Amino acid sequence: MSLEAVSISTSKYVTTVNAKIDDHVYTVHKMGAGTQLDLSREMSTLMKVRTDLMNLEAKMKKAGSEEESEKMLQENMDKLEAFDKVVKRIEAIFIGIFDDREDGKKSEKLVHMLGIDNIQKVYTEIFDKAEKEEDAEK
C-alpha cells in the first residue's frame, strides 16, 4: 500500500457562473445544501424579529406619551440589535456567494446596495439564465 496522498478536486461538485453586474464580473457560487439551510434559518429568524419589531411599533403608536414610547423602545433595544445581527449574517452569506474576484469590497457594496430581497432576486435570475443557456446548448 502506498503512503502517497490521494489528490482530488472539488471543482466538479461546485457550480459557479460568471455574471456581469453593473460592469463588473462576479463569480457567483450556487448555494449548496448547507448554505441554503443556513440562509433559510437566518431568514426565519429575520421574519420573527421583524414581526416583533412591527408589534413594538404598533404598541409605541398607542403609547400615551412620547416618554412612554421612548421607554418601550429602550426596553426593546435587544430586538433592534438582534435584527441588525441577523441582517449582517444574511449579507455575509451573499457576500460569500458573489465573489468579486478581488478583495470582497465590490461584493459587499453590491449586497448592501441591493439589500437582501433584491440580491436574492439577482441570484435567482443569474441561475435561471444560466440554466436556460445550458438547455439551449443541448
Residue range 56-71, pLDDT digits in tens = 888 888 888 888 888 8
* Residue 1 pLDDT > 80: no
**Whole-prediction pTM:** 0.82
The single residue listed with the C-alpha cell 449579507 is: 91
Q: Are strands 24-29 and 16-21 parallel, antiparallel or unpaired?
A: antiparallel
* Residue 84 pLDDT > 70: yes
Taking residues 96-114, report their average pLDDT.
96
* Residue 121 pLDDT > 80: yes
d(CA 35, CA 18): 19
How confident is residue 2, by pLDDT bands cut at 50, 70 and 90?
low
CB 122 within 8 Å of CB 50: no
